[in-house]
Amino acid sequence: MSFNKIQQGPLTGAAGNSAQYAALGLDSVANALYVSTGSGWVPVSGAAGAGSVASATAATQSNVLTYAVPFTGLYRIDTYAVQIGATGGTLPSTAAAYTEGFTSASISGAAIQATGTGVNNGDNKAGSLIVYAKAGTNIVVSSAAAATLTYTVLARVEHI
């Protein structure tokens, strides 16, 4: 099957098809698949954005990932932090800022993962948060500074 539409960023607008002839689209930035059955583009479950601070850092990261919310709905935010090197300390906590989809309230500091103790190279901490985010806004994932160790942090936002 070929793609009916490929673009950079979330697919929007009419697809020009019907329920009998579904259209398939691709967001080439987020590597996300979209489907339309005649009433507009909808992300296929698992459509996601991902970001990381891949170099070892000991600093707060105010923007590990900014994800543009294409549709109001449920999104799962996952983070993973890993200790880099032998010097122990505190692995960072992570949080999200987003606009709540029902109330349009700005939510900041929503906890994704708590801090954790790192002793050895490779010690890690992970967390997950489900939010109902508003279309046309951003989900921003951040990490709080680790006390003495260096770390790498990864983040992923997935439409569910």
For 6-29, letters b (16+ CB in 10 Å) and e give ebeebbeeebebeeeeebbbbbee
Mean pLDDT across the stretch 9-17? 68
Overall size of the chain counted in residues: 160
- Domains belonging to the chain, first-starting first, are 5-43 (no CATH), 48-159 (2.60.120.40)
Nearest to 73 by CA among 37, 101, 112, 47: 101
Residue 113's pLDDT band (boundaries 50, 70, 90)? very high
Q: CA separation (Å) from 153 to 6, 26, 91, 135?
A: 30, 27, 10, 26
- Return the top range by mean pLDDT from 22-26, 42-46, 72-76, 100-104: 100-104
Has residue 55 got a pLDDT over 70?
Answer: no
Residue 6's pLDDT band (boundaries 50, 70, 90)? confident
Q: Is the pTM of this model over 0.75?
A: no
Rounded Cα distance, 127 and 122, in Å: 16
